[in-house]
Amino acid sequence: MDTSHRVSRDSSLTRLSHDHLGTPAKPESFVLTAVTCDPAVIRHADKAGVDRIGIDIERMGKHLRQGNRPGYRISDHELDDLATVVSNVTNAEIFVRFNPLHPDSQSEIDRALDLGAQVVMLPSFTEPREAARFVKMVGGRAKPILLVETAAAAARISEFVAIEGVTEVMVGLNDLHISLGWSNPFEVMTSDLIVSIAAHVREAGIRFGVGGLARAEDSTLPVSPDLVYAQYPRLGATAAWLARSFYSGINTCEIPFEVRKLNERLAYWFAQPVSALTRQRDALATKIRDFGEQMR
């Protein structure tokens, strides 16, 4: 693994206080994204008020990064699946996560926009010139989001947020923790690095998002959803995926009910003082350490 851009969890370069994040955004501004091409899930997520619904066509290079890991996350979506999303959505914006830049990126982007994409995401980049090229390819026809998944991108976040036309920056916990050489995605969520990234993004006046949210009362998960929910107001993050686990063990007709509970719990944490959010951060960090000791 290339460690030339590895960033310390507690680097002095990332030690920014919570004051740098400003006042947390109100929960009503929170943006949820559902990634699916299942017509029933699309309809119920749209009914639930999920803000963006769409597909993930990223496969280039992803198997090399994740293929040897348990539970690796590689989508089988195709661009033509956007037609299913468009035909089943009434209110949500149409979303596409692309491949990293490649020789056919322009035609891929143009095709997606022709099919109705309104919000588009670039993953797995390392240099500002890649992100600037992506924004230029989109050409103002959709909202471009940058997904920070590499240690190199995290280390140069101030350059990425300065690119004209970028509307949002999101952190992909799974790939970023792999790139950093860390053991668990939640290490990123509790690190000084994520505080630094969040501060740079928000100070640039750009929406900041991170990771995915499970169902509020899902007790089957190894980490309590509440520990994760509290990190969003702590970081000033106002965007997230619906996690893959969100859909597990429920009927599609229950999605609106579960989204409502998710929003209620987020609203609760956004109303809490910094001291309470810090305790949740510390509890999550302890949980991660416990996992590490159990794996030894």
d(CA 192, CA 10): 6
b/e map 155-191, b = 16+ CB within 10 Å: bbbeebbebeebebbbbbbbbbbbbbebebbbbbbbb
* Rounded Cα–Cα distance for residues 134 and 147 (Å): 12
Does residue 1 sit within a domain? no
Secondary structure of 87-124 in the HEC alphabet?
A: HHCCCCEEEEECCCCCCCHHHHHHHHHHHCCCEEEECC
- In this structure, is residue 27 part of a structural domain? yes
What local confidence, expressed as pLDDT, does residue 68 receive? 55
User: Can you read off the two tokens belonging to residue 38?
Assistant: 């299942």
Structure token pair of residue 295: 């794996």
Closest CA to 32 of 109, 125, 131, 119: 119
Residue 273 CA to residue 286 CA, distance in Å, equals 20
**Cβ atoms of residues 238 and 31 within 8 Å:** yes
Q: Tokens at residue 196, please?
A: 């630094």
pTM exceeding 0.85: yes
User: What are residue 167's phi and psi, to 5 degrees?
Assistant: -100, -15
80 CB neighbour count, 10 Å cutoff: 12
- What are the residues whose beta carbons fall under 8 Å from the beta carbon of 218, sequence distance 6 or more? 225, 245, 246, 249
For the chain, 296 residues long, give each residue's pLDDT as a single digit of tens. 343 444 444 433 333 334 444 444 556 689 999 999 999 999 999 999 999 999 999 876 555 555 555 555 677 789 999 999 999 999 999 999 999 999 999 999 999 999 999 999 999 999 999 999 999 999 999 999 999 999 999 999 999 999 999 999 999 999 999 999 998 999 999 999 999 999 999 999 999 999 999 999 999 999 999 999 999 999 999 999 999 999 999 999 999 999 999 999 999 999 999 999 999 999 999 998 876 655 44
Q: Is residue 5 part of a domain?
A: no
Range of the domain at 184: 12-295
| Contact (CB, 8 A) for 100 and 107 | no
How many structural domains does the chain have? 1
Bridge partner residues of 228 (DSSP):
none
Rounded distance, CA 51 to CA 61, Å?
29
Backbone angles phi, psi at 230, to 5 degrees: -70, -20
Is 151 within a domain? yes
Residue 273 lies in a domain: yes
Residue 176 lies in a domain: yes
Q: Is 276 part of a structural domain of the chain?
A: yes
How wide is the angle at C-alpha 122 spanned by C-alphas 102 and 19, nearest 5°? Answer: 145
For the sheet with 168-171, list strands across it.
207-210, 168-171, 143-148, 119-122, 93-97, 52-56, 31-35, 239-242, 212-213
In a domain? residue 210: yes
Question: Where does residue 245 rank: exposed (0-12), middle (13-18), buried (19+ CB within 10 A)?
Answer: middle
Give the CATH number for residue 254: 3.20.20.60
Sorted by sequence, the CB contacts under 8 Å of residue 230 that are 6+ apart come out as: 269, 272, 276, 277, 280, 281
